[in-house]
Amino acid sequence: MDNKISATSGGSVKVGDFHINRMGFGAMRITGDGIWGEPKDRESAKQVLQRAVELDINLIDTADAYGPEVSENLIREALHPYQGVVIATKGGLTRGGPNEWTPDCSPAHLKEACDASLQRLGVERIDLYQLHTVDSNVPFEDSYQTLLDLQREGKIRHIGLSNIEPEHFKTAMEMGEFVSVQNNYNIFNREHEDILNLCEQNGIAFIPYFPVGGGQSDMQQSVLQSVADKHGVTTHQVALAWLLAHSPVMLPIPGTSTIAHLEENVAATNIQFDPEDLDALERVAG
């Protein structure tokens, strides 16, 4: 691998009218345990965010539910006024305590959530605002129409969707424009390959959360370890580099609370697989 660490090494993908380097940063884990409350060290959390931008990461992904509110507040403290970096946030999940997540994608809640995120981030318009989930108690069309309305009001520049199925994708395409989809996806779990294919066909960025995966079998781990040893990297780096190689619209956003791990993640953009590597890695899906 090249010794230079920069998110530009992974190439870029269009997200609306932005050109985003294909290694973003997910700001969920800069909060407290259970994604609840303040981090143990606020200054360290802010330093991680600042280092991400130094490494040419130009997409920071967060949500009002991370903390709740904590992640957005830290981003503003560390990075405002956001020179050269896109801040993406989400609304539609509420929190009752550590590791508790309750959907509320009602129009009233989404409007309140968007206004609150605007204030916390210190902006007049959010560059990328994502519907965090689909709420079984609210018609998807109502939730998505609310984001379209907020966009027309000038509060949102671009709309993204998260945790959707193909029917939501197709409905949203008929109603208006969105520029990204954020679903669970990694080398071991390719359940949403159909959504990825739709994104590729329509020029929409695919943002895989949980991008490294977990719970793999000994056989799967052995394959990754073999490729990692060949390139002198970690298995986590192999998993991230595979995402970049797998699709040109892929935009991983691995999160971390340490600078060392952040730099390791960004260094994965330097890994170049040969056909033998890719053939082996394609076979490790669960």
187-207 average pLDDT score = 97
Tens of pLDDT, residues 144-155: 999 999 999 999
Give me the mean pLDDT over the 170-199 stretch. 97
Overall average pLDDT of the 195-218 stretch: 94
Q: Residues 93-107: pLDDT tens digits? A: 999 999 999 999 999
Query: What pLDDT, on a 0 to 100 scale, did the predictor assign at position 2?
Result: 44
Q: How confident is the model at residue 133 (pLDDT cuts 50, 70, 90)?
A: very high
Concerning whether 185 is annotated as a catalytic residue, the answer is no
**Which tens digit of pLDDT belongs to each residue from 262-278?**
999 999 999 999 999 99
Amino acid at 89: T
φ and ψ at 175, to 5 degrees? -90, -30
Q: Does the pLDDT value for residue 215 go beyond 90?
A: no
Per annotation, catalytic residue among 66, 144, 185, 209: 66
Looking at 3.40.1350.10, 3.40.50.150, 3.40.1190.20, 3.20.20.100, the CATH number of the domain 17-217+250-257 comes to 3.20.20.100
The yes-or-no verdict on residue 16 having pLDDT over 70 is: yes
Predicted local confidence at residue 1, as pLDDT: 43
Query: Residue 197 contacts by C-beta under 8 Å, 6 or more apart in sequence?
Result: none
What contacts 175, CB < 8 A, 6 or more positions away?
141, 144, 145, 148
- Mean pLDDT of the chain, nearest integer: 96
Q: Delimit the domains of the chain by residue range.
A: 17-217+250-257
